[in-house]
Amino acid sequence: MSAQIIAIDAMGGDFGPRSIVEASIACLSATPSLHLTLVGQTSLLEELVSGLAAIDRARLRIVDASEVIGMDERPSQALRGKPDSSMRVALELVRDGKAQACVSAGNTGALMALSRLVLKTLPGIDRPAMVAAIPTRQGYCQLLDLGANVDCSADHLYQFAVMGSVAAQALGVRRPRVALLNIGTEDIKGNQQVKLAASLLKNARGLNYVGFIEGDGLYRGEADVVVCDGFVGNILLKSSEGLATMIGERLEALFKAGLLARVAGALARPLLRRLQSDLAPARHNGASFLGLQGIVVKSHGSAGVQGLQSAIQRALIEIQENLPQRLHGRLEDLLP
């Protein structure tokens, strides 16, 4: 296996550069073929990595970027006002072939806007989509879009379906079942965009379209790829995170109510921890931007070390599977 080089936006995210450097070091130890380029304020990053062993340092470069994009900044500000932001410089490394992927835990809207500007979309794709793996009863499904595109036409949903299918294949699903998220499974259900997208998907050659899926069907694992607009996808993802957290807290509370419950709790706690980490998809897996001429993975803002590691892992798989090129090939066959 040849070396992979990933550019890390070292300044983004809720926890700052320290946790990003920590996660980077851990990933370098775990993957001997991995090289990382940390992008950000050199003096700060040099200080943070100074304690590292020589073998790690050899696979860790630092590239200077003087500006930082804030988590609440408008995408338009990030586009116009900050030519030397860590996020932008990291993306430019991908554009210029100096890195094979960019990972950032920073401002999602800015990352999407800058990715489109710097890397451009693939031919036939109007808008990139954000996709993440959601745990289901059967394993995982790829849910997209997760918030990059608030209003979507039927054509956009169709493009998301094609991209999601190719991504699921790259992740090892042989013939991904692709479904459209809707409020019922009958043909008459849903809004105009969804109905129109369904008729496009029914006629798509080489795509395993299985029809409408409802919110509960997603968690039953009835599809490998679930397509919706970014408004719906973001709300589904965040409400699921909120519900999983609430259930975890209620379990903790139940296991404190009385002596017997405490005993049960002491026995059950390690099991519950495992369950909870399984159930925080966005926190623990990276969300990938699909449809760009390059690989960009967004790590959850409050993900911490483990989240960034998962995002780097997803970027590694996409590099190995050459995802943008595979997408490009399939788009030519599948898009109308």
CB of 246 to a second copy, least distance (A): 5
Kindly give, in sequence order, each residue whose CB lies less than 8 Å from that of residue 285, ignoring residues fewer than 6 positions away. Answer: 132, 133, 307, 310, 311, 314
CB of 96 to a second copy, least distance (A): 31
**Between 38 and 226, whose beta carbon lies closer to a second copy?**
226
CB of 332 to a second copy, least distance (A): 32
**Between 3 and 254, whose beta carbon lies closer to a second copy?**
254
**Residues forming the site for a second copy (CB under 8 A):** 72, 74, 135-137, 147, 150-151, 181, 183, 186, 188, 190-192, 214-220, 228, 230-232, 234-247, 249-251, 254-255, 257, 260-261, 263-265, 267-268, 271-272, 274-275, 278-279
Residue closest to 88 by CA, chosen among 285, 107, 57, 280: 107
Q: Which amino acid, residue 56?
A: D
What does each C-alpha distance from 31 to 2, 10, 316 come to in angstroms? 12, 19, 10
CB of 210 to a second copy, least distance (A): 17
**Between 190 and 291, whose beta carbon lies closer to a second copy?**
190
**Gap between the Cα atoms of 253 and 336, Å rounded:** 54
**Between 53 and 257, whose beta carbon lies closer to a second copy?**
257
**Between 54 and 188, whose beta carbon lies closer to a second copy?**
188
Continuous segment of H or E residues that includes residue 169: helix 154-170
Q: Are 14 and 38 in contact (CB under 8 A)?
A: no
What does each C-alpha distance from 334 to 159, 196, 201, 314 come to in angstroms? 9, 17, 10, 25
CB of 235 to a second copy, least distance (A): 5
**Gap between the Cα atoms of 278 and 140, Å rounded:** 11
